[in-house]
Amino acid sequence: MQNKQLLLATFLDIQEQDNKKEIINNFIDKLVNNYNIQKEKIFIIKNLTNVKQYIITYIFKLNEDEKINFNEISPGTVHIHKNRNTNTIYSINALNKLIEQESGLIKGNINYKAVEIKWDKYRNSCIMLKEGNLIISHTKRIFL
């Protein structure tokens, strides 16, 4: 049986008074112990636009026919993609919304694959949808 790999991101909102290092390390331990995620494949990203938010990205492996509810891992977990040249992470829905806004075309009249994204404009960013609204956040990888 063949495995598939998904790039996932879990968004952790950590209040100023909380011990961010402990919360992040506990979550990473959960990934390693419960889901067999390799620690060296887990990355911590600081949201510079929303200073209370940390984004944990990791590769999740499952069998080709296997399904998983991402919220079982943690609420706020989504399937993402990454442009490696610009270190931009994004969801497909957010990318489609970005294309609609940049092209000025109406949804349904767009060949999304034909639109060229100026990725340098989104270097070190996270592009997501929240309640249907496009959110573009500046990010920075951090080490604890």
Q: Where are the domains of the chain?
A: 3-142
- CA 76 – CA 99 distance, rounded (Å): 24
DSSP letters for 95-144: HHHHHHHHH-PPTTS--GGGSPP-GGGGTTEEEEEETTEEEEEEEEEE--
CB 138 within 8 A of CB 105: no
Whole-structure pTM value: 0.91
* Mean pLDDT, residues 79-106 taken together: 92
Q: Band of the pLDDT at 2, cuts 50, 70, 90?
A: low
Q: What is the pLDDT of residue 113?
A: 83
In the numeric block, which tokens belong to residue 61?
A: 């492996």
pLDDT tens column, 103-142: 877 777 788 888 889 999 999 999 999 999 999 999 999 9
Average pLDDT over residues 74-82: 95
Instruction: Please enumerate in sequence order all residues whose Cβ is within 8 A of that of 29, keeping only pairs 6 or more positions apart, or say none.
Output: none
Which fold is adopted by the domain 3-142?
Alpha-Beta Plaits (3.30.70)
pLDDT tens digits, one per residue of 21-73: 999 999 999 999 999 999 999 999 999 999 999 999 999 988 888 888 998 99
d(CA 52, CA 96): 27
Burial class (CB within 10 angstroms; exposed 0-12, middle 13-18, buried 19+) of 94: buried
